[in-house]
Amino acid sequence: MSSQKSSVNSSKYLPVEISPSNFSSVESLSQVETHSSPHSPTNLLSHSSALPYPCTLPLEFHRHILEELLSEDGLLILSRGLGLRRIICALLRIYSDKESLVILLNASGHELNCIKEEIAECGVKKPGLRVVNNETNSKERSELYISGGILSITSRILIIDLLQKRIPSYLITGILVMHAERVNETSTEAFILRIFKEDNKEGFIKAFSDSPESFISSGLSPLQTTLQLLQLRKVFLYPRFHMIIRDCLEQRKADVTELYQSLSPSMNEIQQAITECIEACLSEIKKGNGNWLDVDDLSVENSLFRSFDVIIKQQLEPVWHRVSSKTKLITNDLTTLRKLLEYVIDTCQTPTSVLSQQQQSPWLSLDAGNTIFSVAKRRVFIRTSTTNPTDSSQKNPYSSSELPPGVQPVLEELPKWNLLAEILQEIESDISHTTTTSRASATTTQGLSEGESLNHFNNTILIMVENERECSQLREYLSTMHIAERQGLSKGGVILKRLLKNYFKWKSGMSKVNKNLFNENDKESDNRDVNNNNNGKDEQSKRGIFQRGQQPPNKRRRVRGGSTAFTFSSTITTSSNRSNNNSSTYYDDEFDVEAFSTYFGLLDLRDLIIIRPISGDDDDRVLESIKPKYIVIYHPDQAFVRRVEVYRTLHPDISCKVFFMMYENSIEEQKYLSAIRKEKDAFEKLIREKSIMAIPLGRPLRVLNTQLESLNVNTRIAGGRIIRQIKELSKIIIDVREFRSSLPSLLHQSGIEILPCTLTIGDYILSPNLCVERKSISDLIGSFNSGRLYTQCEAMSIHYKQPILLIEFDRNQSFTLQSINEIRPDIGMNDISSKLVLLTITFPRLKIIWSSNPNATVEIFQDLKKLEEEPDLETAQMIGLEDDEFDDNAITSNAIESDYNYVPQEFLRSLPGVTSKNYKYIMSKVENLKELSQLSKNELQNMIGNDNGNQLFEFLNKDVKEEK
Per-residue confidence (pLDDT) for residue 350, from 0 to 100: 53
Label each residue of 477-541 as H, E or C: HHHHHHHHHHCCCCCCHHHHHHHHHHHHHHHHHHHHHHHHHCCCCHHHHHCHHHHHHHHHHHHHH
Per-residue confidence (pLDDT) for residue 847, from 0 to 100: 93
Instruction: Tell whether the model's pLDDT for residue 357 goes beyond 80.
Output: no
Worst-scoring range by mean pLDDT, 286-300, 634-648, 727-741, 841-855? 286-300
Q: Residue 274, Cβ neighbours under 10 Å: how many? A: 25
Name the most confidently modeled range: 456-465, 542-551, 941-950: 941-950
Per-residue confidence (pLDDT) for residue 608, from 0 to 100: 82
pLDDT, tens only, 344-355: 887 665 555 555
What is the residue-wise DSSP string for 91-124?
A: HHHHT-STT-EEEEES--HHHHHHHHHHHHHTTP
Instruction: Tell whether the model's pLDDT for residue 400 goes beyond 70.
Output: no
Is the domain covering 254-260+415-434+457-507+601-665 a CATH 2.60.40 domain? Answer: no
Name the most confidently modeled range: 631-640, 783-792, 830-839, 945-954: 631-640
pLDDT, tens only, 543-586: 333 333 344 444 333 333 333 344 333 333 333 333 334 434 44
Worst-scoring range by mean pLDDT, 152-166, 328-342, 597-611? 597-611
Instruction: Tell whether the model's pLDDT for residue 269 goes beyond 80.
Output: yes
Worst-scoring range by mean pLDDT, 28-32, 330-334, 883-887? 28-32
Would 60-250 and 728-816+829-878 be classified into the same CATH topology? yes
Backbone angles phi, psi at 177, to 5 degrees: -115, 115
CB-based contacts of 446, cutoff 8 Å, min separation 6 = none
Residue 743, CA atoms < 13 Å, CB-side half-sphere: 34
Per-residue confidence (pLDDT) for residue 455, from 0 to 100: 52
Closest CA to 257 of 423, 44, 387, 381: 423
Give the CA distances from residue 79 to residues 210, 307, 947, in Å, rounded to whole numbers and listed in that order.
5, 18, 60
The model's confidence at residue 439, banded by pLDDT at 50, 70 and 90, is: low
Full-model pTM: 0.75
Spelled out in words, what is the top-level CATH class assigned to the domain 60-250?
alpha beta
Worst-scoring range by mean pLDDT, 102-106, 286-290, 889-893, 919-923? 889-893
**DSSP reduced 3-state for 403:** coil
The model's confidence at residue 393, banded by pLDDT at 50, 70 and 90, is: very low
Per-residue confidence (pLDDT) for residue 295, from 0 to 100: 64
Per-residue confidence (pLDDT) for residue 401, from 0 to 100: 53
For residues 159 and 166, what is the distance between their CA atoms, to the nearest angstrom? 10
Q: What's the CA dihedral at 872, 878, 880, 882 to 10 degrees? A: -170
The model's confidence at residue 462, banded by pLDDT at 50, 70 and 90, is: very high
With pLDDT > 90 as the criterion, what percentage of the chain qualifies? 26
pLDDT, tens only, 855-870: 999 999 999 998 889 9
The model's confidence at residue 237, banded by pLDDT at 50, 70 and 90, is: very high
What is the residue-wise DSSP string for 525-592?
A: HHTHHHHHHHHHHHHHHHHHHH-S-SS-TTS-----SS--EEEE-SSSEEEE----TT------SS--
Per-residue confidence (pLDDT) for residue 248, from 0 to 100: 92
Q: Residue 21, Cβ neighbours under 10 Å: how many? A: 7
Per-residue confidence (pLDDT) for residue 421, from 0 to 100: 92
Instruction: Tell whether the model's pLDDT for residue 264 goes beyond 60.
Output: yes
For residues 255 and 958, what is the distance between their CA atoms, to the nearest angstrom? 62
The model's confidence at residue 128, banded by pLDDT at 50, 70 and 90, is: confident
The model's confidence at residue 193, banded by pLDDT at 50, 70 and 90, is: very high
Per-residue confidence (pLDDT) for residue 230, from 0 to 100: 92
Spelled out in words, what is the top-level CATH class assigned to the domain 728-816+829-878?
alpha beta
What is the residue-wise DSSP string for 290-355?
A: TTTS-GGG-STTGGGSTHHHHHHHHHHGGGGGGS-HHHHHHHHHHHHHHHHHHHHHHS---HHHHT
Mean pLDDT of the 647-653 span: 90
**DSSP reduced 3-state for 65:** helix
Instruction: Tell whether the model's pLDDT for residue 87 goes beyond 90.
Output: yes
What value, to the nearest 5°, has the Cα angle with vertex 792 and ends 788 and 798? 145
Q: Residue 882, Cβ neighbours under 10 Å: how many? A: 11
What value, to the nearest 5°, has the Cα angle with vertex 335 and ends 331 and 336? 110
The model's confidence at residue 877, banded by pLDDT at 50, 70 and 90, is: confident
Per-residue confidence (pLDDT) for residue 89, from 0 to 100: 92
Is the domain covering 900-957 a CATH 3.40.50.1820 domain? Answer: no
pLDDT, tens only, 47-80: 333 344 445 788 999 999 999 999 999 999 999 9
Per-residue confidence (pLDDT) for residue 487, from 0 to 100: 84
Between 38 and 706, whose confidence is greater? 706
Worst-scoring range by mean pLDDT, 66-75, 255-264, 514-523? 514-523
Per-residue confidence (pLDDT) for residue 252, from 0 to 100: 78
Per-residue confidence (pLDDT) for residue 699, from 0 to 100: 54
pLDDT, tens only, 657-689: 999 999 998 888 988 999 999 999 999 999 999
For residues 827 and 839, what is the distance between their CA atoms, to the nearest angstrom? 16
The model's confidence at residue 714, banded by pLDDT at 50, 70 and 90, is: low
Mean pLDDT of the chain, nearest integer: 76
Per-residue confidence (pLDDT) for residue 53, from 0 to 100: 45
What is the residue-wise DSSP string for 22-36?
A: GGHHHHHHHHHHHHT
The model's confidence at residue 122, banded by pLDDT at 50, 70 and 90, is: confident
Query: Can you give the residue ranges of every domain in the chain?
Result: 60-250, 254-260+415-434+457-507+601-665, 265-350+362-384+405-409, 728-816+829-878, 900-957
